[in-house]
């Protein structure tokens, strides 16, 4: 019997104060779920479904895919610049990101 290998990716969240928080994200798990499962709160949590925009971040380093998310909160040009909703980000490598709330 062969063992199942679970791929994990390191995710680093840079705070506005320069502090860095690291946690692991399993293959197929979105960043916000992994963070919440570890009791961390570096990224604000909202609807968890890609609709409210509360968990808006900018990915500074790394490769990722996104699940469908509201264009009301992430425009196509912003997505091309690395912006996404943490509840919709599936890492494909280690990631470095920072919170990027929309300016009111």
pTM of the model: 0.90
- Work out the burial of residue 93: count CB atoms within 10 Å of its CB; fewer than 13 is exposed, 13-18 middle, 19 or more buried: exposed
Sign (positive or negative) of CA dihedral 24, 30, 32, 34: negative
pLDDT tens digit sequence for 33-92: 999 999 999 999 999 999 999 999 999 999 999 999 999 999 999 999 999 999 999 999
The CATH superfamily label for domain 8-97 reads: Beta-grasp domain (3.10.20.30)
The distance from CA 13 to its chain's CA centroid, rounded to whole angstroms, is 9
Lookup: tokens for 101: 């709330």
């Amino acid at each position: 019997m062969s063992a199942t290998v679970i791929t994990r990716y390191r995710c680093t969240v840079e705070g506005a104060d320069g502090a860095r928080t690291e946690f692991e994200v399993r293959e197929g798990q979105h960043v916000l779920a992994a963070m919440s499962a570890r009791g961390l709160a570096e990224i604000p949590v909202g609807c968890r479904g890609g609709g409210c925009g509360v968990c808006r971040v900018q990915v500074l380093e790394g490769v990722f895919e996104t699940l469908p998310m509201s264009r009301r909160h992430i425009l196509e040009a912003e997505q091309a610049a690395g912006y996404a909703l943490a509840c919709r980000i599936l890492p494909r490598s280690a990631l470095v990101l920072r919170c990027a709330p929309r300016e009111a």
